Amino acid sequence: MTHPEVTIDPAVPVPDWPLSPLGRQRMRLALQQPWLNRTRAIFCSAERKAREASGIVAMHLRLSPIVIESLGENDRSATGYLPKPEFEAVADDFFAQPEKRVRG
């Protein structure tokens, strides 16, 4: 499972972006999925959005999420914030040629 929508703020480092209100609502809706009750462990990255999403599920299941630093998402530290159209183009390039560095 991945986190849903986040609050994008160019002034905030990407790893510190929180879930948006819609993202939190979608996580609460996910709690209704029958397969979720078979979950016995929850792992997440240290990014705020991942911790928030896993926390919602963990509280519902009475589990404690395990934070693993190496589970971080795409490292955007070299690019920082990119407007959505530019980000989508860069992401497309990245996934089309994962063995090459996007933008050098």
Provide the whole-model pTM: 0.80
Q: How many CA atoms lie within 13 A of 72 on its CB side?
A: 11
One DSSP character per residue, 18-48 reads PBPHHHHHHHHHHTT-GGGGG----EE-SSH
pLDDT band at 98 (very low <50, low <70, confident <90, very high): confident
Q: What is the pLDDT of residue 19?
A: 97
Q: What is the pLDDT of residues 38-80, one digit of tens each?
A: 999 999 999 999 999 999 999 999 999 999 998 877 777 677 7
Mean per-residue pLDDT over the chain, rounded: 91
Q: Which domains does the chain show, CATH number per domain?
A: 14-96 (3.40.50.1240)
